[in-house]
Structure 1
Amino acid sequence: MNRTAPLLLAAAAGVVLAWRRGRHAAAPPTLGPDAVRALYDRAAPTYDLVAAAYALVGADRFHRRAVEALALRPGDTVVDLACGTGANLGRLARAVGPTGRVVGVDLSPEMLARARRRVGRGGWATVELVEGDVRQFAFPAPLGGVVSTYGLEFVPEHDAVVERAVAALAPGRRIVVGGLRRPARWPEWAVRLGALVNRPFGVTRASEGVRPWRSVFRHARQVAYEETLGGAVYLAVAAAPPAAPPAP
């Protein structure tokens, strides 16, 4: 394990816990869609400021790697599930170019309001933002890519979402899902600290049993899997099956 990881988490914890003390409602062990929406609506005004602390543990590199792993092409249509305030949107817009399309989906109107401001500042005319539950989202098809970072952990039905996403991909195109997981090599005190740091974002010890990467590899062909931060963060990359050969 990287011995600096717990120290970096502790540094981030100082910022996050200061924000948390200003909140009176603790996150419940498990969150339904209404609770997730309410939590992120409350968090939205300070979300980007708090999230900036995660630059200490490579958040920017993580988002860049997720978008690069999609292997997007100019003109592609790509969907960002649970896009939040839009951390991936600029990179996605640049990857698909002026003839492409980027669709960001999120449950929280307040988070999307901040994403819209980011899109406006960036001048990304190809970005479309959709307020809605990813469980009901109608994927456009064929897609050049689907990405979700730190989002599917809040969706108990993520397997069905991933299955529909893969079905909407053009043959051979990629889905990339990344987020938090329980690091097998961390000592218990570090795991508890990580859960505490991420509690304002709705992550609890109950999240440890949520494993979206398994759904990604169940419904698509595995391309790559990597872990960072001593196994606390994962990135799963898979490709839709190739087109079936024409019948003789």
Structure 2
Amino acid sequence: MAEPELSASFYGTAAGLYDLVATAPGVMSWRRRTVETLGVSAGDTVVEMGCGTGANMPFLREQVGSDGRVVGVDLVPAMLQEAQNRIERAGWKNVHVVEGDATQPPVDTADALVSTFVVGMLDDPAGATREWLDCVSPGGRVTLLNAGRSPRAVTAPLNLGLRLFVRVAAPGRRLSLTSPTRELERRWAEARDALFEAGIDQHEERLGLGLVPLMSVRVPE
């Protein structure tokens, strides 16, 4: 079974549980901060790659207003159904979901693009990042968020917890001899290199006691 199929199978059966984790108070504060770095305005169009259950959508919709547009792309129908349910409960008319592979974006041009906790699952994170940059109009921003071990010594117990979580949650890699956490961080580093090579006004920070790295760039004009 190919990796996209593994991910779809795994997250398809765990969409409801995933949403509980994705919308936990602390996690939602990371999501809000991530959206803030996009610098979008009312009327803009924002695309989210790997939108999952739509946990970022309230913040994205808040930024673009009723005149803007939010498009969420995800590979997993069960995740998209959760996101669609969120859209309908909120009554948003300008927030939409599209089933598609984030590595082959089914979208045209956007004013900004965001992806959270996705690049670490991709076989070619650098290639996907370059594709995403091409989707954004000159002057727009691309922001990525992920998870990784914190460099702070005092967070050693949290790093252990992260390693256990990633091993359990990594589709198809729970029995792998390769550390899923190291693989996650390697893929993040590849995405970072691709993003910073092409983008300007580079920004980096770490949230969640250093466990959640964020990076953002502006597409050159």
TM-score (norm 2): 0.86
For residue 151 of structure 1, the aligned residue among 106, 113, 118 is 118
Q: CA deviation at 1:198?
A: 3.7
SS of residue paired to 1:79: strand
TM-superposed CA distance for 1:101, in Å, is 1.3
Match of 2:204 among 206, 212, 225: 225
Q: Distance in 1 between matches of 2:38 and 2:31?
A: 11
How many Å separate the matches in 2 of 1:86 and 1:181? Answer: 22
Structure 2 residue aligned with 1:45:
16
In 2, are the aligned partners of 1:90 and 1:124 still within 8 Å (CA)?
no
1:138 maps to: 106
One-letter amino acid matched to 1:36: S
CA distance in 2, matches of 1:100, 1:45: 28
List per-residue Cα deviations over 1:40-76 (Å, max 9, x = no partner). 0011132222445x43xx2111110111111111221
How many residue pairs were aligned?
208
1:63 paired residue number: 31
Q: How large is the Cα RMSD of the aligned pairs?
A: 2.0
CA gap of 1:223–1:86, structure 2 versus 1, over 3 A, is: same
- Matching of residues 111-126 of structure 1 within 5 Å: 111-126=79-94
The aligned counterpart of 1:72 is 40
**Structure 1 residue 223, shift from structure 2 partner:** 3.0
Instruction: Tell me if 1:174 matches 2:118.
Output: no
Task: Select between 208-217 and 113-122 the one with higher mean Cα deviation.
Answer: 208-217
Aligned with 2:97: secondary structure? strand
Q: TM-score normalised to the size of structure 1?
A: 0.77
Residue of structure 2 in register with 1:4 after alignment: none
Match of 1:194 among 122, 143, 162: 162
Work out the CA distance in 2 between the residues paired with 1:99 and 1:160.
32
For residues 160 and 168 of structure 1, what CA distance do their matches in structure 2 show? Answer: 13
Which residue matches 1:21?
none
* Residue 161 (structure 1) aligns with: 128
CA contact (8 A) 2:152 2:210 kept: yes
Q: More displaced, 217-226 or 186-195? A: 186-195
Question: Please, which of 93, 101, 110 is the counterpart of residue 78 of structure 2?
Answer: 110
Q: Could you report, residue by residue, the CA deviation over 1:116-151 in whole angstroms, capped at 9, with x for unpaired residues?
A: 00000111111110111111223311x210000111
Q: Secondary structure at the match of 1:146?
A: strand
Distance change (3 Å), C-alpha of 1:224 and 1:82 = same
Alpha carbons 1:177, 1:216 under 8 Å: kept: no
The answer to whether the Cα contact below 8 Å between 1:75 and 1:97 also exists between their aligned partners in 2 is: yes
Name the counterpart of 1:7: none
Q: 1:116 to 1:199 in 2, by over 3 A?
A: farther
Alignment match, 1:8: none
**Displacement of 1:193:** 1.8
Letter in 2 for 1:210: R
Question: Percent same amino acid at aligned positions?
Answer: 33
Q: Distance in 2 between matches of 1:50 and 1:220?
A: 31
Q: Is the 8 A contact 1:181 1:208 kept in 2?
A: yes
Give the Cα separation in 1 of the matches to 2:82 and 2:59.
17
Secondary structure, in 3 states, of the residue corresponding to 1:210?
Answer: helix
